[in-house]
């Protein structure tokens, strides 16, 4: 069986260091959302049809490179068993490449025109996404190498949530200010990209310096050939916790992206107060911070998976009740904002804390297969999340046409308004319930199984037969 190198004590430095990972990564990745579209259309003047085609190819690449990178890390470590650890060497290799390719992406294409510019842009994006994945997969996988208990997993998940929140906020403060000062120009995007890349690189290096792989499975007899790219297919067959997480990833990300894509229609067309969205954002941040503070303590007492189930079921129930109220009465915008923010906050606990469950699924996989393939499991879980994001975003836009929404109309038909209510409130209720079902009926790590996992890690049991 695999032996484990273990170092005791999850310190505050470890937690802060782990938070720095997502903070540093998000410093660049955050700008690859809505703001990057202005760069494509207003600075590079890419035709929308061409852009749509490029986005499709990029999204496919984004989806497949996660599990591929994870499998590569597993295979390299199985062959070399590097003393530097399984993940940390990849952090050191990738962090400077992420910063450099991000700056290149927002500067180099501006020096070209026409087809040449499109080719340069295409490969700049491919390179950035590849190196970002090379950083993100080991950064996320580090949790399983640092945490042993539900409390430790919850603490690191909470730390990652804080880092992600800050890393998403800072770029959205920097870039709009530069655009306001310089307009939609290559100068504004170049300066903003450089600042965000430098800050992100510093925090990525702090992540590398302040984290350590406290326990790393080492199997001297395990050859490079024993870890295969196809191992993940067997994981789907034998690892029910991982399957539950994949179902959850698709459901929760679909819910999240349907809500975010169509939120303006709910506030603007149904409630008639689009300005209330700003207040919703102001309310959601302290709710998120509160959740990140208290959930590790709750998880330590009742268990991480059970706490997530309670939050998901409560959130789904609130959304179902809210939808019923919207169908029979006129709900004030402020009441809708408060109720929906609470429901989304409860559902988001599963997003903040899911990384700890990924670590537990990795431990379970090692017990039943004898292989600790963190990279493949984390990368494939990321793939399912990207599927949910794509489905949620695309389906939400298509659904507007299906319900008869008329862009620019002073008022919408009763059918369209009902459709918006269903899309923004009922659909999240259903998909959140889907996540709860995955954890309630598919997830199978009970206290007895957890005890067996602990015994296996301590060397008292051998892995179960596949």
Distance, CA of 16 to CA of 206 (rounded, Å): 9
User: 216: which strand partners?
Assistant: 5
Could you read off the pLDDT of 317-371 as tens digits, one per residue?
999 999 999 999 999 999 999 999 999 999 999 998 998 899 899 999 989 988 8
Residue-level pLDDT at 456: 87
At 107, is the pLDDT very low, low, confident or very high (cuts 50, 70, 90)? very high
Residue-level pLDDT at 232: 67
Distance, CA of 316 to CA of 306 (rounded, Å): 15
Neighbours of 19 (CB within 10 A): 26
Cβ(355)–Cβ(145) below 8 Å = no
Distance, CA of 176 to CA of 196 (rounded, Å): 13
DSSP 217: E
Residue-level pLDDT at 95: 97
∠ CA 393-121-87, rounded to 5°: 70
Distance, CA of 458 to CA of 454 (rounded, Å): 6
Q: For residue 441, is pLDDT > 80? A: yes
At 466, is the pLDDT very low, low, confident or very high (cuts 50, 70, 90)? very low
Compute CA distances 438 → 3, 7, 148, 252, whole Å.
Answer: 32, 33, 23, 11
- Lowest mean pLDDT of 155-164, 303-312, 393-402, 421-430, name the range: 393-402
Q: For residue 229, is pLDDT > 70? A: no
Q: Which residue has the higher pLDDT, 162 or 460?
A: 162
On the 0-12 / 13-18 / 19+ scale of CB atoms within 10 A, 7 is: exposed
Best CA proximity match to 79, nearest among 222, 202, 270: 222
Residue-level pLDDT at 336: 96
108-129: average pLDDT: 96
Q: Map tokens 């600790």 to a residue.
A: 372
Q: For residue 6, is pLDDT > 50? A: no
Residue-level pLDDT at 34: 62
Distance, CA of 62 to CA of 74 (rounded, Å): 19
At 4, is the pLDDT very low, low, confident or very high (cuts 50, 70, 90)? very low
Largest alpha-carbon pair distance within the chain?
Answer: 71
Helix (H) or strand (E) holding 381: helix 374-402
On the 0-12 / 13-18 / 19+ scale of CB atoms within 10 A, 81 is: middle
229-245: average pLDDT: 82
Neighbours of 274 (CB within 10 A): 15
The pTM of the whole model exceeds 0.85: no
Alpha carbon dihedral 368, 369, 374, 378, in 10-degree steps, equals -70
Q: For residue 78, is pLDDT > 80? A: no
User: 217: which strand partners?
Assistant: 4
Q: Map tokens 């959140």 to a residue.
A: 432
91-109: average pLDDT: 97
DSSP 460: S
Could you read off the pLDDT of 278-288 as tens digits, one per residue?
788 778 778 88
Beta strands, E only, 164-233 = 215-218
Residue-level pLDDT at 400: 86
Residue-level pLDDT at 154: 86
User: 4: which strand partners?
Assistant: 217
User: 3: which strand partners?
Assistant: 218
Distance, CA of 355 to CA of 378 (rounded, Å): 9
Label residues 296-314 b or e (16+ Cβ within 10 Å = b).
Answer: bebbbeebbbebbbebbbb
Structural domains present in the chain: 10-228 (1.20.1250.20), 234-457 (1.20.1250.20)
- Lowest mean pLDDT of 8-22, 204-218, 238-252, name the range: 204-218
∠ CA 125-52-104, rounded to 5°: 20
Residues written for the chain: 466
Best CA proximity match to 418, nearest among 352, 353, 323: 323
């Amino acid at each position: 069986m695999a032996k484990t190198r273990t170092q005791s004590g999850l310190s505050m430095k470890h937690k802060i260091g782990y938070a720095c990972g997502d903070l540093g990564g998000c410093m660049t990745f955050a700008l690859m959302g809505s703001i990057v579209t202005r760069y494509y259309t207003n600075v590079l003047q890419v035709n929308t049809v061409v852009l749509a085609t490029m986005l499709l190819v990029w999204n496919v690449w984004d989806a497949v490179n996660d599990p591929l990178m994870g499998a590569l890390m597993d295979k390299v470590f199985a062959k070399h068993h590097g003393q530097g650890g399984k993940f940390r060497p990849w952090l050191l290799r990738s962090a400077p490449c992420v910063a450099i390719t991000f700056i290149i992406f927002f500067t180099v294409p501006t020096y070209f025109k026409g087809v040449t510019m499109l080719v340069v842009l295409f490969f700049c994006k491919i390179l950035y996404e590849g190196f970002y994945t090379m950083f993100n997969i080991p950064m996320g996988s580090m949790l399983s190498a640092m945490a042993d208990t539900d409390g430790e997993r919850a603490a690191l998940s909470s730390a990652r949530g804080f880092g992600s929140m800050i890393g998403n906020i800072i770029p959205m403060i920097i870039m709009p200010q530069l655009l306001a000062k310089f307009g939609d120009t290559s100068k504004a995007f170049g300066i903003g990209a450089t600042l965000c890349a430098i800050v992100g690189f510093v925090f990525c290096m702090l992540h590398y310096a302040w984290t350590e792989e406290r326990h790393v499975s080492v199997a001297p007899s395990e050859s490079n050939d024993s870890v295969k790219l196809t191992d993940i297919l067997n994981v789907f067959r034998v690892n029910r916790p991982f399957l539950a997480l994949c179902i959850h990833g698709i459901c929760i990300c679909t819910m999240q992206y349907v809500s975010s894509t169509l939120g303006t229609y709910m506030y603007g067309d149904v409630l008639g107060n689009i300005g209330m969205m700003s207040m919703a954002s102001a309310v959601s941040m302290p709710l998120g911070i509160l959740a990140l503070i208290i959930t590790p303590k709750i998880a330590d007492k009742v268990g991480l998976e059970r706490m997530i189930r309670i939050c998901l079921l409560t959130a789904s129930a609130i959304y179902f009740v809210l939808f019923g109220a919207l169908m029979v009465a006129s709900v004030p915008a402020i009441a809708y904002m408060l109720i929906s923010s609470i429901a989304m906050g409860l559902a988001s606990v599963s997003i903040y804390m899911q990384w700890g469950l990924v670590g537990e699924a990795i431990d379970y996989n090692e017990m039943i297969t004898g292989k600790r393939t963190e990279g493949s499991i984390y990368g494939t879980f990321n793939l399912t999340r990207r599927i949910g994001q794509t489905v949620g975003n695309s389906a939400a836009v298509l659904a507007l046409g299906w319900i008869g929404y008329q862009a620019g109309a002073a008022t919408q038909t009763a059918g369209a308004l009902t459709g918006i209510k269903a899309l923004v409130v009922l659909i999240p209720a259903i998909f959140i319930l889907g996540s709860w079902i995955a954890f309630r009926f598919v997830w199978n790590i009970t206290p007895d199984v957890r005890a067996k996992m602990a015994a296996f890690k301590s060397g008292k049991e051998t892995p179960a037969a596949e």
